[in-house]
Structure 1
């Protein structure tokens, strides 16, 4: 035994599978009926039973800049830790366990909190020493903690308030409640999105769903600002999800959205949209562009082309049934979608930022070592913000896909 503690009335901690199953089972059984504010103390108490101390639950803030500690009885509440250049940040971005030896003895462990493949935050704790049995048990504990946080999040504002670092507009509240998880990873494909300005977003949104081998994707930009734009984005995404769930074609999804916007808002309102189907087994990509900037195809870190398509009218203008443009991805390819707030921001005495400058930033960062797609997208977002001197006067959304391919094998997860 490498972690000294008392557990379950015994003189030492049993690291056998049976002990771990009992501990996780007790935690799961107790958490089911606990109110949200008691989840954190429960987690801290169970970690203490296996020798952990100074337990912190760190959640990503909405601007994706900091990992902020959740308040709670028995939790260690320190200062927020930067996502960049901190052990907690490395664990979060790379989805891996990070261990740091402490000057006064012991090991500080940072374990990613993964709900499925979505990174929720980081579980941090200190142990006297750590071995393989400890890593296995604590990794399973972190997975269970992530599931509990996501489940309880639907019943409380506690986690939202911890993540919010400045006042948020009503339109931004609407948009964040509309979004799917910001990341998804399966062996065949990864997706990640970033919404800026995090606390004042209005008309930008994205959505995705993986149904069998088809990844359904939509990136939208509703005209205007504030609640009017947020309302249009809500209707557009709602219509998109409805169309997706009644199994219509990609072109028909556009028609569903178009009718919903025009009937609700009239012919003087519109939403630009990028709609896609990606076969995650073959890399075949179908694309509909409704007045939106063309996505960029990135190969080996460099932009090789814009994925052009026959552009149809924006959603809400009553365009004809759009034509589908087909592309075929290679393994490792990335597709970057973005909204016009990225390229139309005024810089350098009033000149628009422009697509060439965006491509230059992508290519420059592509020459640096990669920390994975999610970390690379976050770094691109912050680089673009710096290039714009911190200005984001319009919504500026990035959404990236990385395709790896290969046949889906639902039994592989049990091997």
Structure 2
């Protein structure tokens, strides 16, 4: 018979014990969970502190503060790698912005310098107002494709009855072309006074440009000389298109055989032609930026369209030529970009126009900026020099020089400008008195033809004129003349003591 053991435990006590045990388990588990949460919070806080600092720094960087300090995280985990990546990003951004600022500053400096260069380039070219002789009128256009360009034009007097006109196109565009253009203009203006014909001038300019030209830069040019008295237009071309002639509403090209562009062949020659202009004839010079311009359909403006534009409008004045061609050109190319410089020069011949010879009282005379009448010039000049303790001999000589020069201008000066003016500028230097006589009369060199008079000839038989200017040349120690910007400039130097 099996042995059976039994235990007796009061139910109330058992239930009490079980409830107590359950509370102990609940308390123990709650304590463990609380400790675990505290541990997790501490670990998380420690772990995310670097991320919070990094987040705050990136917000500063996002606001543009690239000088904000990134917290160093000496860790090799993902957070450390992320921190180092942000640091490299910040440094790269700072370097990029610095380089961008330097590039922007350099570009602004270049743009400013180019703007100044454009102003200088425009200042080198004459305006229509420079055509001071009423026997011709000029209108011009120069529109560079870039800030500065290589096209050029000019017109100026080389004698009282002759004017020069030129238009040219330097190969390429931009600053190098502009510099070559400036050199070409300078050479042309200098050598024009030494050349007797367009062919001779082109030969001389070409020889200078071709010499020491390793870059093989070149310029096409059309050059013409107009005799205002006879109306004969002599011209020659160095690789440039023939101008157009508008006569009685009909447009034709001038007969032309061109030589090579300037700057390529040092001993090149240039065929010369001539034509006699009639009253109201208009000569139109242009560069290929006009005729070779293309529209959005890649169609060329062309010489034929240029001639048709002028003949259809048949402008009556030189300025109207520029306006109608410019309008037709703009309408043709529409929104297409401009690839080449645009240059036009139109000249109209007015042989019947005469210069106005101002009356004696019309002239406005000033001495160092002080308005005077003629009779006041001598005493005012003497008082000015004597106040500077200039010797009486020098004062007397300068008074005579001034009087003779003034009489010469008042007698021979003719101008279409109002008012007619003579400006006397006196400068006392250490060893000399310098007198500049500037008037807005027509180009007239008073030193031309000044020869020593024959004093043995009886006064009644002596030809009129010449003696006063001979005295001026004899009394002055140095005297020079040049004509610029529509003004005669006579530069006279008188030493205080003979060297």
What TM-score do you get using the length of structure 2 for normalisation? 0.46
Q: For 2:118, which of 165, 172, 178 is the aligned residue? A: 172
Aligned-pair distance for 1:356? 0.5
DSSP 3-state at the match of 1:352: coil
Alignment match, 2:357: 411
DSSP 3-state at the match of 1:297: strand
Matches within 5 A, 1:60-71: none
Q: Quick one: distance in 1 between partners of 2:283 and 2:340?
A: 22
Q: Quick one: distance in 2 between partners of 1:170 and 1:414?
A: 34
Structure 1 residues 315-367: Cα deviation after superposition (integer angstroms, max 9, x where no partner): 1112522121011111110000000100111226223221001111112222x
Q: For 1:302, which of 241, 246, 250 is the aligned residue? A: 250
DSSP 3-state at the match of 1:276: strand
What's the RMSD between the two structures over aligned residues? 2.7
DSSP 3-state at the match of 1:392: coil
Alignment match, 2:58: none
Alignment match, 1:193: 140
Q: For 1:344, which of 292, 295, 298 is the aligned residue? A: 292
Bigger relative CO (Cα 8 Å, ≥ 6 apart): 1
Greater share of helix = 2
State the structure with more CA Rg. 2
Q: Quick one: distance in 1 between partners of 2:415 and 2:186?
A: 35
Alignment match, 2:325: 380
Aligned-pair distance for 1:293? 1.0
Structure 1 residues 214-272: Cα deviation after superposition (integer angstroms, max 9, x where no partner): 11111111001101110110111111011013344322211222123223533621100
Alignment match, 1:223: 171
Runs of 5+ consecutive residues of structure 2 not aligned to the other structure: 1-111, 359-413, 417-499
Q: For 1:241, which of 177, 180, 189 is the aligned residue? A: 189
1:341–1:408 Cα change, 3 Å: same
Matches within 5 A, 1:291-370: 291-303=239-251, 305-318=252-265, 320-347=268-295, 349-366=297-314, 370=316
Q: Quick one: distance in 2 between partners of 1:360 and 1:255?
A: 34
- 8 A Cα contact 2:318 2:348, kept in partner: yes
Structure 1 residues 365-411: Cα deviation after superposition (integer angstroms, max 9, x where no partner): 22x7x5x4324423322332222215421001000010111485563
* 2:218 is equivalent to residue 270 of structure 1: yes
Q: Quick one: distance in 1 between partners of 2:238 and 2:125?
A: 20
Aligned-pair distance for 1:275? 0.4
- 8 A Cα contact 2:141 2:344, kept in partner: yes
- 8 A Cα contact 2:197 2:234, kept in partner: no
Q: For 2:180, which of 232, 238, 259 is the aligned residue? A: 232
Greater share of strand = 1
